[in-house]
Amino acid sequence: MDFALSDEHQAFRRVVRSFAESEIAPHAARWDDEHHFPLDVVRAMGDLGLFGIPFPEEFGGGGADFLMFCIAVEEIARVDASLAITLEAAVGLGANPIHHFGTAEQKGRWLPDLLAGRALAAFALTEPDSGSDAGATRTKAVRDGDEWVIDGTKAFITNSGTAMTSLITVTARTPDGGISTIVVESGTPGLVIEPAYRKMAWRASDTHGVRFERCRVPRGNLLGEQGRGLHQFLSILDDGRIAIGAMSVGIASACLDHAVAYATHRSAFGRPIGANQGLAFQLADLQVAVEAARLLTYRAAWLRDQGRPFKQAAAQAKLFASETAVDAGRVATQVFGGAGVMEASPVARFYRDAKILEIGEGTSEIQRLVIARGLGLPV
């Protein structure tokens, strides 16, 4: 067994870290405070090739492995979770369904701009009354000649309303009784983007509700086989759970770094607060948890890259890493004391941003359900 990253992976990490620290970190707090989506920086991420990392070169992708993509997500999340989720959702939920289930014509039409970061795609799955129970989709799509007519409402859709958004893949119940996935291009009549949410976390990411009101799209916009949408999005979510694990590792690492630095220079009772075992041991435990979360995440990515089953590994990584990120935010805030709950604190934003990692792309409860079923339990 070899736990060392390749020279290529390590060099790539240095490139992304340098970009994140110079182009994102100095502005992240302001973007968060203003709920500002920084289009120019997202385009710069595209110029760096981040949106095409795990896709074939024939469509403009980087031809790299999924582990490379996870490293990019981790490094962006170390400074700003909003930009990290923008990248993760654009790749995992936006381009990935088209890459996996699209026809050659669909891939050729949509992937080049998505992989180059010239455009973003969204995946409209969640509804006001169906989150974890995604099979309870109420949005409907019926055939009318050579078109699909879509009606329904989606909620909490990332990357759905930016000036870069070019398409939204929607899950809808079709007349066969199953769920299908259909691509709706931006600007299509009947596609209504609701006002952006005011959020506790990921304030600089783009999140909207989406409505479809007699929205007509060509028959050829069906993605994959009709009625197979449930199978499609469950497999897509397995990929996304690994990437959310990587986001979690990035946030947890940032919290640990800030807490250690603060505990080293902040003094109380005549010595650094980090000299107190009660605090030092908390940080030691956190460091162990961060490394464990990273190993679980990298292992899941490696299994995927090797073409081996990875559903269980993805759930394990997402569960443990997301809960570690929340713990890291709590511990870091405690280390900072009163300063930690001030918005000017570097850990306040990370603490807020960590919580949603236990919810998005499958709650912690869903991850435990997946893991329990993998044990053969009748749940």
Q: Strand (E) positions, the chain?
A: 120-124, 140-144, 147-158, 165-173, 179-185, 191-196, 207-218, 222-223, 267-268, 271-272
Query: What are the structure tokens assigned to 291, written together?
Result: 């490394």
- Nearest CA to 47 among 37, 35, 60, 57? 60
- Known catalytic membership, residue 34: no
Tell me the residue type at 77.
A
DSSP label of 130: B
- Nearest CA to 90 among 110, 64, 117? 117
Tell me the residue type at 12.
F
If residue 313 lies in a helix (H) or strand (E), which one and from where to where? helix 311-336
DSSP-derived secondary structure for 212-234: EEEEEEEGGGEESSTTBHHHHHH
Distance CA 287, CA 281 (A): 10
Distance CA 361, CA 93 (A): 10
Cα angle for residues 116, 185, 361 (degrees, 5° grid): 70
Which residue in the list 23, 185, 361, 365 is annotated as catalytic? 361
Give the count of alpha carbons within 13 A of 248, CB side only.
38
Distance CA 366, CA 314 (A): 12
Q: Strand (E) positions, 175-206?
A: 179-185, 191-196
User: Which residue bears the tokens 């409209």?
Assistant: 124
Q: Which residues are catalytic?
A: 361
